[in-house]
Amino acid sequence: MKATTVLAAALLLVAGSAYAQSTARCPALPANSGLSWERMDGSGYTFCKAIREADGHQVLAVMITRDAPFRPRRGNRVEEVWIDGAENWWYRSELSGSSGVEVRETLVELDRDHVAHISLRASNDEELTTSKSLAEALRFDDVRLSIN
């Protein structure tokens, strides 16, 4: 019994070390991503911006709330994806007044009452691919614990 407990604890430590520290209300960022969270809490939501430490550029944003401002439209689906073990879709969107900017959004259900709205903007295909990969590597375990 003790060996099982020790093994389970060791596995949790190893799994946890693969992801960077996160604030309890923002998802875990991949380790060595070069990103850190800027968090803003509001009435009924938490807004997290992943900022690239090297240049201060926002790579993606996550809004955790009961009612997401984003409403997915089937016609805007562009790519099926798995985020935090759940099947999702990336949706094409637009940013008013910004030509040449690719915008992608998706929703991740966290529990019966909360969703995470992930959004990203990119000025070229390489940036878009990198940002999507980072978003797809987010882990929401700590977020789920903090909202329950």
Classified as helix, coil or strand, 146 is helix
Give the H/E segment covering residue 131: helix 125-136
**Over the stretch 8-32, which tens digit does the pLDDT of each residue have?**
333 333 333 334 444 458 999 988 8
Q: Does residue 97 have a pLDDT over 80?
A: no
Domains of the chain with CATH codes: 20-147 (3.40.1000)
Q: Is 47 exposed, middle or buried (0-12, 13-18, 19+ CB in 10 A)?
A: middle
Q: Which value, in Å, is the radius of gyration of the alpha carbons in the chain?
A: 16
Which percentage of the chain shows pLDDT scores above 90?
A: 59
SS3 content of the chain, % helix, strand, coil (to 5): 25, 40, 35
pLDDT bin (cut points 50, 70, 90) of residue 141 is confident
